[in-house]
Structure 1
Amino acid sequence: MIVARTIEELQDVVGESCVTIGNFDGVHKGHQKLIELACLRAKSQGLVSVVVTFDPHPLRVLRDDKTPPFITLTEQKLDLISQHGPQVCLLLEFSMEMAKLSPEEFVKKYLVNGLGMKEMIIGYDYHLGKARAGNFEILTKLGEKHGFSVDRLDPVSIDNAVVSSTRIRDLVQAGTVWPARPLLGRFYQIKGEVVHGMNRGGKLLGFPTANLKLVDELFPKPGVYAIWVEVDNVVHMGVANIGKNPTFGNDALSVEAHILDFSGDIYGADIRVHFVQRIRDEKKFNGIDELKDRIAKDIDLGRQLLSQPEAAIKLTRPDLGLTNG
């Protein structure tokens, strides 16, 4: 997938295109269906398949500090989009100037003149342009005027409810990560660099942990989770604690992952943590021995949970040759 941040970068790349456009936070099952449909239509008509999205998320510009934590950062969003087949992703910088463009101004500048758009596919609730005026009906009229067709994808429902970024975000923040999997098509995941922590895990407790430098915005509710951990393209079982370690009186949020049956120095490495199931709340223990006993039980339970067939990780990057460790 070619990633461009300006129309100018695509002048010699895109002739005529089928475009889908959106924020795609989470790249969930609804988004995936939208992207895959655009790719299918493009292939059938000899067009270039293009995904148009934005960085930063428009809400971050329009509402500033009143935005929710986003499910995917830009790097991960692009990675996930690429897995569903589009030839090009145009990542536009969203600004107040762009927000002031009418639907027709935006469509003409970026999609018709810039991408040679011949077909546009949008989600059931998508709007673009100033004051979100560009709904399906307006875009259809613009298509008649400027020579492109518009199709709208019906909402995707799972468990009798529409799949949405808001629904996924609510589930993750509540710690109910297991029900988020079918909506995402994968376990909810975060990525981070392994950094030095307080040196308690291995030395004090006997359970070495990988402490993550936190860059993601959305984290599950504090507690202990059964997880899959990607280290150097190998997937391992693990158990993670999210929280402030109340037994030790910490104040800062941390994510500490104990990787089962693993040894090795991974300081400075980037690892990916996939949250499978919540085991328990974070709690304050009366002492080190009580905490150690509870961690041992958490590890046993985590191993049992991850050994169940339904908990098997769905590898989202087969091109990396990921294998189970």
Structure 2
Amino acid sequence: MIIVNNPEDIRDAIGDSCVTIGNFDGVHKGHQRLIDLTCSRARATDRTSVVVTFDPHPLRVLRNDAPPFITLTEQKLELLSQYGPQVCLLLNFTMAMAKLSPEDFVQKYLLDGLHMKEMIIGYDYHLGKGRAGNFETLSELGRKKGFTVDRLDPVSIDGAVVSSTRIRDLVQAGKVWPVLPLLGRFYQVKGEVVHGMNRGGRLLGFPTANLKLVDELFPKPGVYAIWVEVNKEVHMGVANIGKNPTFGNDALSVEAHLLDFKGDLYGSDIRVHFVQRIRDERKFSGIDELKGRIRKDVELGRQILSQPEAAIKVTRPDFQRTTSSKPQ
């Protein structure tokens, strides 16, 4: 997938295009269906498949109370690329862009810039000033400008429409297992391993990787069974999210204990996939009680991750699995 920020950078290099446009926060099953349809239509008509999205997310510009987003831009682009579009136009969203009418936006970015002949949008997508560019108005504009518009019906799983809001609510409630069918993957965060309080291995006997937090959305504080990617390999693990009340901390932290792992992780970028919540975070009477509870958490985590349905799903072509931590 080629990523461009200005359609002029690619206008002369592509022919006619089939375009889908959206925020794609989470790149969930609904988004995946939309991108797949766009790519298949483009192949059938010998056109270029293009995904148009925005950075920052428009809500970050238009509202002071924007929610935490499921995927930051880097991860969103990585995920989009896995579903096959040839081009991603990543537009810098500004207040000036927000004031463009649907017709002006389509003309400037999609027709002049991408030679769009077909647009495919989600069932609830709107673009342009005042969200005036809905399916009906865009279809009418297409009849005047020479492009067609199709709209994908909502994608439902377990009786409810798949949406970024639904996924966000589940993650924040700690219900990470039900997120799997909505995303097609476990919810994940990524970060650099940094020095923490040096209590895990030295004091408790369970060394932990402390993440430098860059993501916005985190599961409800507690203990989780996780998969951890390290240097393109995957390992079983258990993570604590919270403020470590036994030690009276104030700042939110994500600490991951990798099962059966030996090595120095400081400075490494790791990816944590949240599989299932084990328990709430709570304050213990002392070190011994905490150590005993951690031993139980580790055993529960191992049992959860050993189930076939808990297997990690990674499609990145350079990814490798460790034989020791695959579910049996």
Look up the match of 2:4.
4
Query: How far apart are 1:7 and its partner, in Å?
Result: 1.2
* Superposed CA offset, 1:256-289 (max 9, x none): 0000000101100100000000000000000000
Structure 1 letter corresponding to 2:4: A
- Does the 8 A contact of 1:315 with 1:322 survive in 2? no
Look up the match of 1:106.
105
Distance in 1 (alpha carbons) for counterparts of 2:13 and 2:217? 35
Look up the match of 2:292.
293
Distance in 2 (alpha carbons) for counterparts of 1:258 and 1:67? 32
Query: How far apart are 1:322 and its partner, in Å?
Result: 2.2
Structure 2 letter corresponding to 1:322: Q
Look up the match of 1:123.
122
- Alignment of 1:20 with 2:20, yes or no, is yes
- Alignment of 1:217 with 2:216, yes or no, is yes
Query: How far apart are 1:56 and its partner, in Å?
Result: 0.2
The partner residue of 2:321 within 295, 312, 323 is 323
Distance in 2 (alpha carbons) for counterparts of 1:62 and 1:39? 31
Query: How far apart are 1:14 and its partner, in Å?
Result: 2.0
Distance in 1 (alpha carbons) for counterparts of 2:194 and 2:308? 32
Q: How many residues align?
A: 323
User: Could you tell me the TM-score, scaled by structure 1's length?
Assistant: 0.99
Distance in 2 (alpha carbons) for counterparts of 1:63 and 1:283? 35
Look up the match of 2:200.
201
Look up the match of 2:54.
54
1:171-190 maps to which residues of 2 (within 5 A)? 171-190=170-189
1:49-198 maps to which residues of 2 (within 5 A)? 49-64=49-64, 66-198=65-197
Structure 1 letter corresponding to 2:110: L
Structure 1 letter corresponding to 2:23: N
Q: Percent identity?
A: 78
Look up the match of 1:35.
35
- Does the 8 A contact of 1:60 with 1:67 survive in 2? yes
Structure 1 letter corresponding to 2:319: G
Structure 2 letter corresponding to 1:242: I
* Superposed CA offset, 1:167-225 (max 9, x none): 00000000000000100000000000000000000000000000000000000000000
Distance in 1 (alpha carbons) for counterparts of 2:39 and 2:8? 22
- Does the 8 A contact of 1:4 with 1:10 survive in 2? yes
Query: How far apart are 1:11 and its partner, in Å?
Result: 2.2
- Does the 8 A contact of 1:227 with 1:238 survive in 2? yes
Distance in 2 (alpha carbons) for counterparts of 1:315 and 1:321? 7
Look up the match of 1:246.
245
Q: Please, which runs of 5 or more residues in structure 1 have no aligned partner?
A: none
Structure 2 letter corresponding to 1:70: F
Distance in 2 (alpha carbons) for counterparts of 1:11 and 1:173? 41
Distance in 2 (alpha carbons) for counterparts of 1:95 and 1:51? 19
| Matched residue SS, 1:155 | coil
User: Could you tell me the TM-score, scaled by structure 2's length?
Assistant: 0.98
Query: How far apart are 1:108 and its partner, in Å?
Result: 0.4
* Superposed CA offset, 1:221-279 (max 9, x none): 00000000000000000000000000000000000000000010110010000000000
Distance in 1 (alpha carbons) for counterparts of 2:245 and 2:202? 18
> What RMSD, in angstroms, separates the aligned Cα atoms of the two structures?
0.6
Look up the match of 1:309.
308
